């Protein structure tokens, strides 16, 4: 940076860094030094990757925006789902995620229209910073990213044999907030073993797309036999009382009393006298593992009422002695370095803090909190994503006993 000093204070840089995932900020452009012309701006800022643009007006406002897309002179508009606006006036950070809101106090949203710069665009300075993610020199967990390891993980799952002779398939229950990625996780695992991106389970973020109890068999290719694992999808949790999955239904699901395709009622849990209630479930009907699916971008801002629901569920599951895991989804959206290279997920300081926070908030041991990236808009499989997803499934299989019979491996 030489003798050019940033106007953004150290405290402001730390605040923005925390929002972006433990990054460092490198000053690329300062209008008072490099010039207020478009040519000067593009000469220093084009093709630099993620950047922060900061404006300072003559009434003391400090404001700007982040984009993960490089500046260029193509003249074309770009769509950036990770972009946000910020201000240091009247609150901590102002973000734009579909609509403008300003976060002043935890859980309090205030309409932010006109609050970015006080309706004053008379700038006295403009700066642009390159966003450089901070990475650990060594990953916190060693992962073999090779094709050979992907094949081994798939083989281990395909040849898995439960320790209980009366159980042929392990049932994994997925629980989490609306839009966290439960249905996408089901689609992603089916995609890996199907050899192409599959979108069987409905997904979405505007509301609960899953309103039934749905079970998904997984096959190796269309002609293959079902794998020894069944993924069980549930209605999404919501913070509002009387909305989303009813916590009282959890015990019935886990004990095997709820049948496939049961339509959840947010207000009234399934009653034993109902015809949809299976009074004498088999061991195969019961849940053998629970995975909480949590969006890495939202773990820090999880509403207290939603956290209370998850705590109540965890307490029920713990009393039943069932293994519990956390699938931390959308890690690529949470950290630019991971978005660029999925193999850096265990080197990202920011993702490490999110894994630790998820462990603390949900009361699940750190070793059982794993990062994943589901397939959503992608058209092709990615080996690094596959290995993370397969590693998560492999870790959730309890009491592993391997059958040495030969299988056709994809």
pLDDT tens digits along 293-340: 999 988 877 888 889 989 999 998 999 889 999 999 999 988 878 988
What is the distance between the alpha carbons of residues 309 and 357, in angstroms, rounded to a whole number?
17
What would the mean pLDDT of 178-192 be, rounded to a whole number? 93
Cα of 178 vs its chain's centroid, Å: 12
Handedness of CA 160, 399, 186, 332 (dihedral sign): negative
What is the distance between the alpha carbons of residues 104 and 150, in angstroms, rounded to a whole number?
45
Cα of 268 vs its chain's centroid, Å: 30
What would the mean pLDDT of 1-17 be, rounded to a whole number? 83
What is the distance between the alpha carbons of residues 310 and 306, in angstroms, rounded to a whole number?
6
User: How many other C-beta atoms are found inside a 10 Å radius of the C-beta of residue 350?
Assistant: 24
CATH C-level class of 147-402: alpha beta
Q: What is the pLDDT of residue 392?
A: 96
Token pair belonging to 135 = 């990475």
What pLDDT digit, counting tens, does each position of 353-372 carry? 899 999 999 999 999 999 99
Q: Cα separations (Å) of 120 from 35, 100, 123?
A: 21, 18, 8
- Every domain of the chain and the residues it spans: 10-133, 147-402
367 three-state secondary structure: helix
Please report which residue ranges of 261-401 form alpha helices under DSSP H: 304-319, 331-334, 336-340, 349-362, 383-396
Strands 23-30 and 123-133: antiparallel
Closest CA to 369 of 396, 333, 332: 396
Closest CA to 169 of 214, 223, 251, 231: 231
What would the mean pLDDT of 77-105 be, rounded to a whole number? 58
Percent pLDDT > 70 in the chain is 83
| pTM tops 0.85 | no
What is the distance between the alpha carbons of residues 276 and 299, in angstroms, rounded to a whole number?
34
Q: Quick check: 52 and 25 in contact, CB under 8 A? A: yes
Cα of 166 vs its chain's centroid, Å: 35
Please report which residue ranges of 160-216 form alpha helices under DSSP H: 182-194
């Amino acid at each position: 940076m030489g003798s050019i000093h940033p106007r953004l204070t150290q405290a402001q840089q730390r605040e923005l860094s925390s929002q972006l995932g433990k990054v460092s900020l490198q000053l690329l452009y300062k209008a008072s030094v490099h010039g207020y012309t478009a040519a000067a701006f593009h000469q220093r800022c084009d093709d630099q990757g993620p950047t922060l643009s900061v404006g300072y007006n003559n009434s003391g406002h400090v404001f700007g925006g982040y984009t993960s897309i490089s500046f260029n002179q193509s003249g074309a508009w770009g769509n950036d789902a990770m972009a946000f606006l910020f201000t240091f006036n009247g609150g901590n950070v102002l973000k734009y995620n579909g609509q403008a809101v300003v976060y002043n106090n935890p859980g309090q949203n205030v309409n932010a229209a006109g609050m970015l710069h006080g309706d004053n665009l008379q700038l006295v300075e403009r700066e642009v910073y390159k966003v450089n993610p901070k990475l650990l020199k060594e990953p916190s967990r060693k992962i073999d990213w090779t094709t050979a390891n992907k094949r081994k993980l798939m083989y281990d799952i395909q040849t898995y044999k439960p320790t209980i002779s009366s159980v042929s398939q392990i049932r994994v229950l997925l629980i989490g907030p609306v839009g966290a990625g439960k249905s996408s996780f089901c689609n992603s695992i089916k995609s890996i073993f199907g050899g192409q991106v599959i979108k069987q389970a409905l997904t979405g973020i505007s509301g609960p797309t899953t309103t039934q109890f749905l079970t998904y068999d997984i096959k190796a290719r269309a002609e293959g036999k079902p794998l020894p694992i069944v993924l069980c999808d549930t209605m999404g949790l919501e913070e509002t009382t009387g909305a989303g999955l009813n916590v009282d239904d959890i015990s019935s699901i886990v004990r095997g009393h709820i049948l496939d395709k049961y339509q959840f009622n947010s207000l009234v849990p399934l009653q034993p006298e109902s015809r949809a209630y299976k009074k004498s479930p088999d061991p195969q009907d019961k849940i053998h593992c629970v995975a909480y699916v949590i969006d890495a971008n939202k773990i820090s801002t999880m509403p207290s009422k939603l956290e209370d629901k998850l705590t109540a569920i965890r307490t029920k599951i713990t009393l039943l002695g069932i293994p519990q895991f956390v699938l931390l989804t959308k890690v690529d959206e949470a950290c630019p370095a991971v978005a660029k290279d999925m193999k850096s997920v265990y080197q990202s300081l920011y993702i490490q803090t999110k894994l630790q926070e998820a462990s603390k908030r949900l009361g699940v041991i750190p070793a059982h909190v794993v990062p994943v990236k589901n397939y959503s808009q992608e058209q092709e499989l990615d080996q690094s994503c596959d290995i993370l997803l397969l590693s998560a499934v492999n870790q959730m299989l309890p009491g592993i006993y391997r059958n040495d019979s030969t299988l056709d491996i994809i």
